[in-house]
Structure 1
C-alpha cells in the first residue's frame, strides 16, 4: 500500500482518513478516534497529509509534522466544490484529498504557537471592542428613548454619559438611572480590559524586530504589524505582493466574459480583521496626504482627485500589503514612505 496523499477530515473526536496513490486510486480508508490519530498516522509511510483549515488544524499540522509527514492546509472554500453527492465525513475527506491534487489550489499559511498566541490576543481584544460597541449603542438607545441624543463616538460617550447620569434634575427615573449606571460600569470595565490587551500587543511589538520593520511603513502601526506576522509569518506561502493583497481581499472582484472586462468592488476575501486594520491605516494616510508634497503623497492626492477618497484608501491599503510582503521576504526595511 503506497499512499501519496492522505486527506484527513478533522473534528472534535472522530477523524476520517482517505488516502490515494500516485494514480489517484483509493488505497486507504479509515475512521479513527482522537486519541488514535497520531498512532495511526505514524504507522503510515511518509506522504503528504492534507487538512482542511478549521479549528485545531494548525495544532494537528504541527503534531503530524513531528511524526515525519509533509502537511498542507487548504481553505474550505476550495474543498467544497469537490464534495460528491451527500455531505458526510467520508466524502469530505475524499474532497480534501481531491482538492490537494489540483495544481492551482492555494494553501493556507501554517501558524506556529507564537503566531497563534499573537492571534489570540487580537481576537480577544476585538471581542472586547465589539462588546463595548454594543454596550455603548444600547446606552445611546435607552437615552434617546428618554430624549437625550448622543453622537456615534466612544470619546463623546465617555464625556456625555456621566454628565447625564449625574444630573438628578433631568427626567430619568431612579430605576432607569440604576440600569444605565450598571451599563456604564460595564462600559468602563471593557475599556480597562481593552487597555490591558493593548499593552500586551505593544509588548509583543517591542520584542519583535520583524514587526518593527513592518511598522516603518506609513499607515502600519503596532496592531497591524503584529496581526500581519500572526497571520502570514514570513510570507513564504505567497508568490508575490499582489498575491498577498488578493488573499487579504484588497483587489476588485471580476465579472468578465470574452473581451468584456468588468471590475467591481473589493472582493472582501481572506482575513477580515487584517483587512480592516490595513484600510484604517490607509485612511489616515489619505487624510493627511494633502499637507505633504513628496512624490508618494502626490500620487495619493492625484488618485484621490481622480477616484475619490474611498477608492484611494483601498489602493493605499493594497500598496501597503505589497510593501509588507517585500519587507517580510527580503528582510530589509521599507524604503518607500508616504
Structure 2
C-alpha cells in the first residue's frame, strides 16, 4: 500500500483519514483519536498530507512536516464542491484529498509560530477596536435619547463626552450620568489596551527588516507591513503580484458568459483585515496625490479624475499589493519611479 495523498479532516478529538494512490484509488481509510494521530502518521511512509485551513491547521502542519510529510493547506470554499452525497467526516476527508489533487486549486500559505504571534496581536487589537466602536455608539445613542448629539468621530467623542458628563445644566439625570460614566471608563480602558497593542506591533516592526522595506511603499505603514508579513510570509505561495491581489479580494468580480464580459466591483475575498489596511493606506495616498508631482502621484491624480476617488483608492491598494509581493519575493528595497 503506497499512499500518494492523505486527506485529513481535522477536528477537536476525532480525526478522519482518507488516502489515495497515484491513480486516485482509495487505499487507506481510518478514524483516529487526537492522541493517536501523530503515532499513526509516523508509521506511514512520507506522502502529501492535505488539510483544510481551520483553527489549528498551521500547528498540525508543522507537526506533520516534522514527521517527514509534505503538507498542503486548502481553503474550505474549494473543498465543498467535491463533497459527495451526505456530509460526514469520511466524505469530508475524501473531498479534501480530491480538492488538493486538482492542479488549479490555490493553496493557503503556511505560517510559522512567529507569524501566528504577530497575527494574534493584530486580531486582539482589532477586537479591542471593535469593542471601542460599539461602546462609543452606545454612548452616542444614550445621549441622543436625551437630546444631546455630537459627530461620529472618535476624536470628537474623546473631547465631547467628558464635557457632557461634567456639565450639570444638561438634561442628564444622575442615574443616566452614572451609567454613561461607566461606559466612558470602559472606553478609556479600551483606549489604553489598544495603545499597548500598538506599542507591541511597533516593536515587531522595528525588529523586522522585511517589514521596514515594505513600509517604504506609499500607503503602507507599520500595521499594514506587519500584518502582510504575518499573513503571507515571503509570498512564495503566489505566482505573481496579481495572484496576491486577487487573494486579498482587490480585483474585479466577473459575471461573464460567451462574448459578454461583465466586470463588477471588487470580489472582497480573503482577509477583510488586510484589505481594509491596504485600502485605508491607499485612501491617504489618493487624498494627498494632488500636492505632489512625481510619476506615481500624477498617475493617481489622473486616475481619480477619470474614475473617481473610490475606484482610484482600490486601484492604488491593488498596485500596492503587487509591489509588496515583488519586494517580498526579490528581497530588494522598494525604489519608487523618479
Q: Any idea what the Cα deviations from partners look like across 1:12-50, whole Å, max 9, x if unmatched?
A: 111000000111111100011111100000101110000
Give the distance between the partners of 1:100 and 1:186, measured in 2 at CA. Answer: 47
Question: Contact 2:119/2:230 (CA < 8 Å) preserved in 1?
Answer: yes
> In the alignment, which residue of structure 1 is the partner of 2:323?
323
Equivalent in the alignment of 2:262: 262
The alignment's TM-score, normalised by the length of structure 2, stands at: 0.99
Paired residue secondary structure (1:160): helix
Please state whether the residue corresponding to 1:11 is helix, strand or coil.
Answer: coil
Native 8 Å contact 2:211 2:229 kept in 1: yes
Note if contact 1:218-1:337 (Cα within 8 Å) is conserved in structure 2: no
The CA deviation at 1:260 is 1.1
Deviations 1:152-174 (A, max 9, x none): 11000000000000011211001
Q: TM-score under structure 1 normalisation?
A: 0.99
User: For residue 309 of structure 1, what is the aligned residue in structure 2?
Assistant: 309
State the match for 2:291 in structure 1. Answer: 291
Count of aligned pairs between the two proteins: 338
Correspondence for 1:144: 144
Q: 1:84 to 1:243 in 2, by over 3 A?
A: same
Give the structure 2 partner of residue 179 of structure 1. 179
- Equivalent residue number for residue 40 of structure 2: 40
**What secondary structure does 1:117 align onto?**
helix
Q: Does 1:112 align with 2:115?
A: no
Corresponding residue number in structure 1 for 2:207: 207
**1:302 Cα deviation after fit:** 0.5
Q: Give the aligned partner of residue 219 of structure 2.
A: 219
CA RMSD of aligned residues (A): 0.8
* Inter-partner Cα distance in structure 2 for 1:197 and 1:46: 41
Residue aligning to 1:4: 4
Q: Contact between 1:8 and 1:49, CA under 8 Å: does it hold in 2?
A: yes
Q: Determine if contact 1:7/1:17 at 8 Å carries over to the other structure.
A: yes
Task: State the Cα deviation string for residues 107-142 of structure 1 (Å, max 9, x = none).
Answer: 000000000000000000000000000000000000
Alignment of 1:150-189 (within 5 A): 150-189=150-189
Instruction: Provide the secondary structure at the position in 1 that maps to 2:218.
Output: coil
Contact 1:111 1:230 in 2 (8 A): yes
Could you tell me which residue of structure 2 aligns to residue 275 of structure 1? Answer: 275
Unpaired runs of 5+ residues, structure 2, are none
SS of 2:22's equivalent? coil
Cα deviation code 1:192-247 (max 9, x no counterpart): 00000000000000000000000000000000000000000000000000010000
Separation (CA, whole Å) in 2 of partners of 1:166 and 1:337: 54
Contact kept? 1:121, 1:201, Cα under 8 Å: yes
SS at match of 1:179: helix
Q: Could you tell me whether the CA contact under 8 Å between 2:3 and 2:47 is conserved in 1?
A: yes
- Runs of 4+ aligned structure 1 residues displaced above 6 Å come to none
Deviation at 1:315, TM superposition (A): 0.1
Shift of 1:337: 6.0
Quote the Cα distance in structure 2 between the aligned partners of 1:44 and 1:94: 18
1:296–1:337 contact (8 Å) kept in structure 2: yes
Structure 1 residues 69 and 214: alpha-carbon distance in aligned structure 2, compared to 1, 3 A threshold: same
CA contact (8 A) 2:115 2:233 kept: yes
The change in CA–CA distance for 1:337 and 1:150 in structure 2 (over 3 A counts) is farther
- 1:50-101 alpha-carbon deviations (Å, 9 max, x no partner): 0100000000000000000000000000000000111111100000000011
Q: Quick check: 2:83–2:94 contact (8 Å CA) kept in 1?
A: yes
Q: In structure 1, what is the equivalent of residue 245 of structure 2? A: 245
Tell me, yes or no, if the aligned pair for 2:295 and 2:337 is still in contact at 8 Å.
no
The aligned counterpart of 1:300 is 300
Q: Alpha-carbon deviation of 1:296? A: 1.0
